Amino acid sequence: MNDKIAASTETSGSHVLELASLGLAAAADAIRSGDMTSESYASALLYQARAHADLNAFIAIDEDALLQAAKDADKARAAGVEAPLLGVPVGIKDSYLTAGLATSIGLERLAHFVPTEDADAVRAVKDAGALVFGKNNLVEMSYGLTGHNERFGQVKNPRALERVTGGSSSGSAASVAAGIVPASLGGDTVGSIRVPASLCGVVGFKPTTGRWPRNGVAPISHTLDTTGVFARSVEDCILLDQVVTGDQTAESVERNSNLVGARLAFAPRQFLELVDPEVGERFREVVRQLKDAGAEVFEIDLGEDFNSLIQTATWGIFAHETQGAISDFLRLHGIPTTFAEIYEGLKPQLRQAWEYMVLPSGPGATSVQDYKVALSVSRPEIQRRLKQAFVSKGAIAILQPTTPCTAPLIGEQEGLRIAGQEVSTLALANHTLLASSVGLPGISLPAGLSRAGLPIGLELDAPLGSDRALLSLSRHIERILGTMPPTL
C-alpha cells in the first residue's frame, strides 16, 4: 500500500468505512461544510480500493495524483472556492478519454495510451470540482454484457464474488457497489449501464440519447450510444445530471410529493414471459407495493412481434455502425491504432463475433438496405407503439425487470439459462433494448434480493426528453423500495 494512504487511514481507523459509505451528494456536502477533508476522503477510498483489489474494478489509478488533487481541493475550499462536487473523487469507465491518465478502452494494445484531452463529460465533472479517482475496467471495446476482459481480468460482483457484474460498464458498477467510489461515469448502447446496475444492486441512469455529451468516449453506435452514471441513490444521479448537462432544474416534483395518481404501465406479454421465476415474483410484488402507494399501475400489450422488432432493429443498427464509429473516433482523437489492428487483437470469442456481424462481409452483417429499414421503418413503428402507451394511455413510465435473471455464475457465461431455457448472454439485455432502441431515458433501481441474496433490478423507461420527471419519479419509488448499502 502507498505509504501516504497507510498513514492517513491509520489515523482515521474505523472512520474509513464510514467515509466509504457516503454517497456523492453527502460527500460533497461534508467537504463543503468542513466536516471532512477531500484528502481524508480520497485516502479512505484508496484504502477501500486496495481492500477490494480482487474485484478487478479498476484498470488505472494514479494514487499520488489523486492525493495531490485532493490536497489542492482542500486549499481551494479554504480559499473560498465553491463548486458542487469540490474534492469528491468519481470513477470513470475506461472508454472515456482522460488527459494524463491512461485510456485503454479495454484493449492490450492501448494499455499505455495516455490522452492529452478529456472527454466532454469528464471535463464537466472536473469543472464542477470532482476528482478522477481512476479508470474502471470494462469489456473490450464495450462489446459484451458479462464483465469479462481477457487482458485486465473478469470483474467480480461485490455481492457474490463467484458471479458476473454484467457489462460492459462492469468495473463502474462494481466500484460503486463496493464503496470504492460514490459514483462512476459509464456508457450504455444496449444496456451497458442498466444491466450491471441491476446485477450489482446499484442505481444506473441512462439519459435520453444525446442529453449527455458523448465526445471523447469510445463509441459503438452513433445512433444508440449514451453516456450516463452509476450511483447508490437517485439523488446522486440527479446531482450528476445537473452537473453534466448544466440543467439546474432537474427536479420537477417536490420532495414531499408521492405516487398518488401516477400512471405506470407494464407489458407482461413482452417482458415477463422469459424471466426467472424469482425475478417475476419480485416484480409482481413491486407492482403491488406501488399500487399500495397510490400509483395507477396497468397492463399494456405492445404487440406479438414487438420483441422481435426491437431485437432485430437495435442489434442490426448496433453492429452495422460499429466499424465506422470506431474508425472515426480513432482518427478524430489521434489514437495510435486502427480498426484492423483492434480487430486482430481481440480475444477469440469477440473476434469471431465481429467477423460474423460487424465486418461488412460477415454472414450476420446487416445490409445497407436492412440498416435503412431499421432506421426509417422499424424505429418509427417502435415509437408509434410506445406513443400509444405514453400518450393515449397516459403512462409516465413503463416498468419491467431490468434483467430477466440475477447475476449468472462466472463459470456459466457461455451456458446461460433463463427460466429453464439455454440462451445467449445477449439475453441479459432483452429488457434494456426497449429504451435503447429509440433513445428513451431509462433507469435501473435496486428492487430487492433473491433468496440467494442476489440483487434484482427494476427498470423504468420514460418518454423522450422526460429525464427530469423520470428521476423525480424514481426517487419516490426508491423511498418505497429502499437502497442497497455498499459491500464494505
Stretch 131-146: mean pLDDT, rounded? 98
Locus of grid cell 464494505 = 488
Query: Using CA atoms, how far apart are residues 474 and 466, in angstroms rounded to an integer?
Result: 12
Structural domain span for residue 248: 3-481
Report the Cα–Cα distance between both ends of the chain, in Å, rounded: 18
The one catalytic residue among 38, 168, 436, 466: 168
Band of pLDDT at residue 415, cut at 50, 70 and 90: confident
Stretch 274-286: mean pLDDT, rounded? 98
Locus of grid cell 446487416 = 366
Band of pLDDT at residue 89, cut at 50, 70 and 90: very high
Stretch 181-200: mean pLDDT, rounded? 98
Confirm whether 232 is domain-assigned: yes
Active site residue 184: no
Confirm whether 153 is domain-assigned: yes
pLDDT at 15: 81
Say yes or no to pLDDT of 250 above 60: no
Residue 83 in grid coordinates:
463548486
Stretch 103-129: mean pLDDT, rounded? 98
pLDDT in tens, 353-367: 999 999 999 999 999
Confirm whether 378 is domain-assigned: yes
For residue 12, count other CB atoms closer than 10 A to its CB: 17
Query: Using CA atoms, how far apart are residues 242 and 468, in angstroms rounded to an integer?
Result: 10
Confirm whether 470 is domain-assigned: yes
Active site residue 327: no
pLDDT at 37: 98
pLDDT in tens, 416-459: 999 999 999 999 999 999 999 999 999 999 999 999 999 999 99
- Asked if 335 and 110 count as a contact pair (C-beta separation under 8 A), the reply is yes
pLDDT in tens, 21-57: 999 999 999 999 999 999 999 999 999 999 999 999 9
Say yes or no to pLDDT of 11 above 90: no
CA dihedral 430, 342, 49, 428 (to 10 degrees): 10
Query: Domain with 304 in it: what CATH number?
Result: 3.90.1300.10
pLDDT at 101: 98
pLDDT at 257: 60
Q: Across all residues in the chain, what is the average pLDDT?
A: 95
Band of pLDDT at residue 58, cut at 50, 70 and 90: very high
The one catalytic residue among 8, 38, 43, 93: 93
Whole-number percent of the chain with pLDDT over 70: 95
Locus of grid cell 494514487 = 63
- Identity of the amino acid at 263: R
Confirm whether 425 is domain-assigned: yes
Active site residue 93: yes
Specify whether the backbone of 486 is left (phi greater than 0), alpha (psi in -120 to 50) or beta. beta
- Asked if 93 and 57 count as a contact pair (C-beta separation under 8 A), the reply is no
Find the helix or strand (DSSP H, E) in which 123 lies: helix 120-127
Confirm whether 488 is domain-assigned: no
pLDDT at 365: 98
Band of pLDDT at residue 9, cut at 50, 70 and 90: very low
Stretch 385-405: mean pLDDT, rounded? 97
Confirm whether 487 is domain-assigned: no
- Asked if 334 and 326 count as a contact pair (C-beta separation under 8 A), the reply is no
Say yes or no to pLDDT of 255 above 80: no
Confirm whether 444 is domain-assigned: yes
The one catalytic residue among 192, 437, 444, 474: 192
Band of pLDDT at residue 287, cut at 50, 70 and 90: very high
Say yes or no to pLDDT of 1 above 80: no
Give the count of domains, the chain.
1
pLDDT in tens, 209-236: 999 999 999 999 999 999 999 999 999 9
